[in-house]
Amino acid sequence: MHAPRTRYPLVVTAAFLVLAAFLAEGFLLSALDHDCIGEGCPVCAQIHAAQRILEGLCRLGAAVLFAGAASLCAAYLAARDAARAPALRTPVTLKIKITS
């Protein structure tokens, strides 16, 4: 387990990512019905930037979920294999088994 000192930056980073997602979503909702001036509209540029941020956060979330699921599967398989392995695999027990 991580020490509380190393957990703090992770929590702050996660909070900033969630805050960025909420702010981007709020901006998108507030700017949907703006008066567009056409080519080079600064509001449209901000909308596209916010969409890219949200898409990036979705990809990041999917990658984190995939990595978490893969590590849980690996831990489960390792624990299952360790439980199936006989307890008689120490060098001492193997020698006793051979000489018996």
How many Cβ atoms sit within 10 Å of the Cβ of residue 15? 10
Q: Which helix H or strand E contains 3, and what residues bound it? A: none
Helix, strand counts (H, E) of the chain: 3, 0
* pLDDT 10s digits, 3-47: 567 778 878 888 888 888 788 778 777 777 777 888 888 888 888
To the nearest whole number, what is the mean pLDDT of the chain? 78
What does the domain layout of the chain look like in residue ranges? Answer: 4-99
Full-model pTM: 0.49
The tokens for 99 are 């000489």
Q: What are phi and psi of 66, to 5 degrees?
A: -65, -45
